[in-house]
Structure 1
Amino acid sequence: MPRLTIDNQEVEVPAGATVLDAARQLGIDIPTLCHMPGMPPATSCMVCVVKVNDKPRLAPSCALKAEDGMRIQSQCDEVLEARRVALELLLAEHVGDCMGPCQLICPAGMNIPLMIRQIRAGGLEDASVTVKRHIALPAVLGRVCHAPCEKGCRRAQADAAVSICLLKRFVADTDLAREQPYLPVRQATTGKKVAIVGAGPTGASAAWHLLQEGHAVTIIDEQGRPGGMLHKIDAGQLAPDVIRAEMDLIVRLGAEFRLGCRVGADVTLDELCRDYDAVLLAVGEASPSAGDLAQKAGLAPQQGKPAVRLAVDRRTFRTSLAGVFAAGGATRAGKHAVLAVADGQAAACAIGQFLAGADVTGPVKPFNVSLGKLLEGEITAFMSSADPAARTQTQPHQPLSPAQARDESARCLHCDCRKADSCRLRQFSGQYGAKPARYRNRQVAFCQRTDHPRLVYESGKCIACGICIRIVEQAGQSPGLCFTGRGFGVTVSIPFNGTIEEAVGGLADQLVSACPTAAWAYRD
């Protein structure tokens, strides 16, 4: 049995084992894309390379047989750089979006395409979970949001954007009408306490997310009711009952409200800093200046002393006072409610990092590849799987009916990646800091095949690993799949111009599970 060393750890493996097998036995993580246990190595992706015995040439660990006395480096700078380049070369030919344009432009980052698929499938409870994962006040925003997501909707290039905001309202209103509206599960209590000054959309949003992390939250506001600037919106557009219903859910999640309490008069910021582990100033309509924020926080200048100033880092939401954060209208221009809700979500992330003793960086931007400007004819390819009907029209401030919501959801082009959360190409690209545009020279047009009742195949996301071909071949499915083309033009095809359903039969689940990207994915 060969004995070798990987990253200064010695391991003994059975004869015939690979270096990849040995690394996994040690618990060392080496990324793979084209490798599948039980199949011969393909060595096409080259992301599993390692350095062997200080030789100048790196080798793919999935095909490298373990030998006695080998000295392997799997995490040195040379190896990490080679993996990054390999990923960037794969991304150079990638055709597709990780996140849909609508989700990218949404200030709160809501997974809009997933919500729409869930509406179309009749899964409104699932849609509620999707919406509330990012948005604390969806019924409110469904009525007042200025809908930047619709400006990014690719469907507008064909006719008109999907009515995303009304669909969100439909999901939220349906949820509120239930006897028990959806509430997320709270993590175990952390023993940490957060005071939030301001019960408007920023403070409410921050509370919603901090409570889910297991922190205790007290929201303090000088007004007698929560909602802040929302109560200035015409009741014909946003009824007070809607504000109250969604604020009640935040109470049910565990928030404590101290209303009619003015910071600087009834309680001081020093007292809050003493009694709580963190303080968030979400005081709303102060002008975004350090002096004005300090006054809103009750730090009025004293006679004969310099004016108090409270600087804010807009990336981390930290102020110049230890343990004090600030977000919302007091720290930036713009009064749109969705921006306030997004600020609260992001500030909660930063506060959570602070309370956990981690580096306070604020939200981490997820790795994303964007299709960019569409090539000629690509909008037609997107439209091939969408309902060609015109945008649903309603009277101002009127909701969609269930039938209208289903019809409108069918108009979505589903530009996003259906496997964004499980795509290993995306995961490793983010992990290794790959730059999607470094070698990109997109010449291949977006293309998708939907001639299977459960599957969609997007050739632009295929990395030619061959796993799907081997799965179908091992199952004896005919006519099966094969490679066609040469060089960068290699793609998976179906012999004799057959359909996907004919080619793969009942192997849909195996293909989706094994595909390292989203070339093979479920339609819904």
Structure 2
Amino acid sequence: MPATLGYICSAPCEGACKRKDIDEPVAICLLKRFCGTDGEMPVTKTEMTGKSALVIGAGPAGLAAAWHLQTSAIQTTLTDKNSTPGGTLWNSVKENTLPKEILEKEIQFILSAGITLKKETDISETELEALRRDFDCIIIATGENGNDFGLETTKQGIVVNRETFETSEPGIFATGSVTRKTKLAIAALAQGKRAAKAAYQYLVGENITGETTRFNSKMGRLMKEEVSEYLSESVEYTRVNSTAEKGFTADEVRKEAARCMHCDCRDKEDCLLRKYSDEYSASQRAYDKGEREPIVKHMQHGEIIYEPAKCIKCGICVQLTAKHKERYGMTFIGRGFDVKIGVPFGKDPGEGLEKIAREVVDACPVGALTVK
């Protein structure tokens, strides 16, 4: 629900934006609002697995759970005791924080995936037992002070496994504020997604682990000497002020998005170091050597960027440039633990990779060499 979140989210992501250490964070919420309001994302229908799920409660957690199950080929029925789905999100409409038509549009988009909605349906504990025979699994997302259906509870709500959202009853999951009060809509949506992942694993007979967190190597705060390096991929003006009532215009979106300094990894989905770190449960803390080296970005090449701090010294680029007889190519510089890979004779990547820059980028197993 990008447009809805673009209006009501307290933007914890902007608190993590490294641009804030220079002036102000990138306006992620307003960018998300524009994408959700003016962008379009088609719903891809997939062949169903034959499994079915019931989601009780159509607030943010329930909507998210239903969406992710349905788009994972699980035929999903969503029920709510109210006449309109959306739950506590309607409080923002009443407070004039969120336009009614935005919320309605995003709810309809979720339902358009093929979800069966049953409104004004208040399910009792007895009815739940009967419904367990009709559905292959059930997710309870009835919100704060919602029905606990006789499941194990504490004063906070239904007791669940915090990773998988499983309850004390097999095949029944619970998520959102019915398990623990959740103030942020983004947190409720995330919990609904995670519960749906675990429920899917249960339905298809996989080991129920929930949504696993991938390995991340965190760099911490920017050093003073790194500011100019990151601004070299960005712009120096401060945060753009929106002029339209609904948020950014298209021109303002382009201008604000240009403030991003690309401090993430450009190869995060295909990085082999990340893949094997996940596989072998590597921990960045186990190899913490204290102060890290400053990050330098070599951008002299017209097509690619080289970030030596991300290099694992595998030597693939050295072999390729030698094989294709680049004039300077890449080579090992230094010895032992201080060895680095770079262009010899003080040359830059623009001179070192004149013939096969793209091939070297494709062969790099991490995000050290990437396309601009």
Instruction: Tell me whether the two structures share a fold, i.e. TM-score over 0.5.
Output: yes
Question: Which of these residues, 227, 248, 267, is aligned with residue 419 of structure 1?
Answer: 267
Shift of the alpha carbon at 1:158?
0.6
Question: Which of these residues, 310, 313, 335, is aligned with residue 461 of structure 1?
Answer: 310
Secondary structure of the corresponding residue to residue 329 of structure 1: helix
Summarize the alignment of residues 340-489 of structure 1 with structure 2, pairs less than 5 Å apart: 340-394=188-242, 398-441=246-289, 442-489=291-338
Summarize the alignment of residues 21-420 of structure 1 with structure 2, pairs less than 5 Å apart: 137-175=1-39, 181-234=40-93, 236-264=96-124, 268-286=127-145, 293=146, 296-297=147-148, 299=150, 310-394=158-242, 398-420=246-268
Secondary structure of the corresponding residue to residue 228 of structure 1: coil
* CA–CA distance in structure 2, aligned partners of residues 318 and 443 of structure 1: 41
Deviation readout 1:162-198 (Å, 9 max, x if unpaired): 00111111111122xxxxx323424421111111111
Shift of the alpha carbon at 1:376?
4.0
* CA–CA distance in structure 1, aligned partners of residues 12 and 243 of structure 2: 20
* CA–CA distance in structure 1, aligned partners of residues 350 and 65 of structure 2: 47
Partner of 2:369 in structure 1?
520
Deviation readout 1:83-123 (Å, 9 max, x if unpaired): xxxxxxxxxxxxxxxxxxxxxxxxxxxxxxxxxxxxxxxxx
Secondary structure of the corresponding residue to residue 210 of structure 2: coil
Secondary structure of the corresponding residue to residue 143 of structure 2: coil
Deviation readout 1:274-322 (Å, 9 max, x if unpaired): 2111111111132xxxxxx5xx14559xxxxxxxx95322221111122
Secondary structure of the corresponding residue to residue 30 of structure 2: helix
Partner of 1:49 in structure 2?
none
* CA–CA distance in structure 2, aligned partners of residues 396 and 283 of structure 1: 37
Amino acid at match of 1:323: G
Deviation readout 1:29-63 (Å, 9 max, x if unpaired): xxxxxxxxxxxxxxxxxxxxxxxxxxxxxxxxxxx
* CA–CA distance in structure 1, aligned partners of residues 124 and 90 of structure 2: 23
* CA–CA distance in structure 1, aligned partners of residues 247 and 166 of structure 2: 39
Deviation readout 1:187-218 (Å, 9 max, x if unpaired): 42111111111111111111111111100011
* CA–CA distance in structure 1, aligned partners of residues 137 and 148 of structure 2: 14
Q: Is the 8 A contact 2:144 2:180 kept in 1?
A: no
* CA–CA distance in structure 2, aligned partners of residues 437 and 487 of structure 1: 23
Question: Which of these residues, 466, 475, 498, is aligned with residue 347 of structure 2?
Answer: 498
* CA–CA distance in structure 1, aligned partners of residues 247 and 221 of structure 2: 33
* CA–CA distance in structure 2, aligned partners of residues 147 and 182 of structure 1: 23
Identity of aligned residues (%): 35
Cα 1:202/1:397, change in 2 over 3 Å = farther
Shift of the alpha carbon at 1:455?
0.8
Deviation readout 1:114-143 (Å, 9 max, x if unpaired): xxxxxxxxxxxxxxxxxxxxxxx1111111
Secondary structure of the corresponding residue to residue 492 of structure 1: strand
Shift of the alpha carbon at 1:397?
6.5
Secondary structure of the corresponding residue to residue 377 of structure 1: helix
Secondary structure of the corresponding residue to residue 350 of structure 1: helix
Cα 1:154/1:172, change in 2 over 3 Å = same
Cα 1:277/1:207, change in 2 over 3 Å = same
Q: Is the 8 A contact 1:263 1:297 kept in 2?
A: no
* CA–CA distance in structure 2, aligned partners of residues 395 and 499 of structure 1: 43
* CA–CA distance in structure 2, aligned partners of residues 494 and 316 of structure 1: 49
Secondary structure of the corresponding residue to residue 253 of structure 1: coil
Partner of 1:57 in structure 2?
none
Deviation readout 1:350-390 (Å, 9 max, x if unpaired): 10111112222211110111112444422332222211110
Cα 1:310/1:501, change in 2 over 3 Å = closer
Amino acid at match of 1:200: G
Amino acid at match of 1:466: G
Secondary structure of the corresponding residue to residue 219 of structure 2: coil
What's the TM-score, normalizing by structure 2?
0.92
Cα 1:234/1:254, change in 2 over 3 Å = closer
* CA–CA distance in structure 2, aligned partners of residues 447 and 232 of structure 1: 47
Across the aligned residues of Structure 1 and Structure 2, the Cα RMSD in angstroms comes to: 2.0
Q: Rg bigger for which structure?
A: 1
* CA–CA distance in structure 2, aligned partners of residues 431 and 439 of structure 1: 17
* CA–CA distance in structure 1, aligned partners of residues 124 and 238 of structure 2: 54
Cα 1:493/1:315, change in 2 over 3 Å = closer
Deviates more, 1:407-416 or 1:372-381: 372-381
Q: Is the 8 A contact 2:79 2:118 kept in 1?
A: yes
Cα 1:396/1:272, change in 2 over 3 Å = farther
Secondary structure of the corresponding residue to residue 268 of structure 1: helix
Cα 1:432/1:506, change in 2 over 3 Å = same
Deviation readout 1:464-493 (Å, 9 max, x if unpaired): 222212212222222322222222221122
Unmatched tracts of structure 2, length 5 or more: 152-156
In the comparison of the two structures, how many residue pairs are matched? 365
* CA–CA distance in structure 1, aligned partners of residues 287 and 72 of structure 2: 40
Partner of 2:154 in structure 1?
none
Q: Is the 8 A contact 2:242 2:252 kept in 1?
A: no
